[in-house]
Amino acid sequence: MHAPIAAPLSSSEEIANGAGAAAILAAGVGAFLVGVLAVAADKSAAIKDLMNFWKPTGALSGVTTSAVVIWLVVWAILHARWRNRSVALASVNATALMLLALGLLLTFPPLADLL
Amino acid sequence: MEITTRSLWTLVHGMGFGALYLLACSGALVELYRRYSAHNDVPAAARDDKFLGVYLAAMAAMAWLAVLTGSYVIYPWYRAVPPAGLHNLGAFPRSLLLSSPSTSGWHSLGMEWKEYIAWLAPISITMAAAVALQYGRNLKRQPQLRSAVLCFVWVSLLAAGVAAFFGATINKHAPVEGGNTIQLMHGE
């Protein structure tokens, strides 16, 4: 059985990149928040207590729940604003990848200990 | 042949969701490179475009299941605090690791890195799945979107790889054990 014949591709002008940009930037924000909140909970006893949403898991529960909730809210807001238009994707990508890299670095304990 | 419930959950988390995710990640990367290579002039079938989105969505589901079982089922057993004066720390992996300078790094570096970096995998792959499902075949004409998706998939592989490496080695040094015993089969 043959695969369906490929339909012609739409031109990039017809497809707004805003929805994709919103997802990319929000993911960068989410990754960054995981790193920032993890460091904050490690450095401050008050924040650690605040992040202790569920005692058996400790601060991990609050750090990750907060990061995920904020990530989804940011994504929803950006999606609502950008979904029907095209945005400067190079800037969005650069910002998202920088946030992602920072998030990665901040989760690394020896680096976080230097802050 | 027996297995404890905690050990079974560890297997489900690590071998079921984690290892399968790593395998799927390499498949996703190969498919993304193959499909969007500059040398690939053959148009993808509509079915293939849909498959990529569904494949990435299945990976996202696996990544979420991996971090949720890790954080909310296994981690509480790992970090449980032993009663004062207890000498046999076998049922308390975190305390067991921290009790010796030769193993404490597995917790202070390994687990403390793993518990957070692992969460970057589901966030990254959920974005990749959403973009693939949203754009489908039009992703071919969106090189900047594709580049970002590819970077995030690489990072999700890195995050899952770090988490898997430390998960496996930590469980080797201080396994999460206990709970009810499940008899899988009788010995000869």
How many Å lie between the alpha carbon of B2 and the closest alpha carbon of chain A?
27
Domain assignment present for residue B142? The answer is: yes
User: What is the pLDDT at residue B138?
Assistant: 86
β-bridge pairing B2-4 and B181-183: antiparallel
pLDDT tier at B151, thresholds 50, 70, 90 = very high
- ipTM confidence: 0.90
Domain assignment present for residue B187? The answer is: no
Domain assignment present for residue B59? The answer is: yes
pLDDT in tens, A35-69: 999 999 999 999 999 999 999 999 999 999 999 99
What string of DSSP letters covers B68-100? Answer: HHIIIIIHHHHHPPPPTT----TT-HHHHHHTS
Q: How far is CA B141 from CA B133, B145, B154, in A?
A: 15, 9, 21
Count of domains in chain B?
1
What's the DSSP call for residue B141?
G
- Distance CA(B138)–CA(B142), nearest Å, equals 7
Q: Which of residues 74-103 of A touch B (CB under 8 A)?
A: 89-90, 92-93, 96-97, 100, 103
Do the Cβ atoms of B45 and A5 come within 8 Å? Answer: yes
Domain assignment present for residue B188? The answer is: no
**What would the mean pLDDT of A71-76 be, rounded to a whole number?**
98
Q: How far is CA B35 from CA B42, B111, B154, in A?
A: 9, 37, 16
B153 or A15: whose pLDDT is higher? B153
The angle formed by the CA atoms of residues B63, B22 and B120, to the nearest 5 degrees, is 45
- Entry pTM: 0.91
Q: What mean pLDDT is reported for chain A?
A: 90
Nearest to A57 among B45, B72, B112 (CB): B72
Domain assignment present for residue B95? The answer is: yes
Q: Which domain holds residue B17?
A: 2-80+88-180
| Closest chain A residue to B107, measured at CA | A109
Domain assignment present for residue B186? The answer is: no
Nearest to B45 among A6, A20, A63 (CB): A6
Do the Cβ atoms of B119 and A34 come within 8 Å? Answer: yes
In 3D, which of A98, A105, A100, A19 has the Cα closest to residue B152? A100
Give B-chain residues touching A18 at CB under 8 angstroms: none
Domain assignment present for residue B165? The answer is: yes
**What would the mean pLDDT of B86-109 be, rounded to a whole number?**
93
Domain assignment present for residue B171? The answer is: yes
User: Quick check: B145 and A89 in contact, CB under 8 A?
Assistant: yes
* Main-chain dihedrals φ then ψ at residue A95, nearest 5 degrees: -65, -45
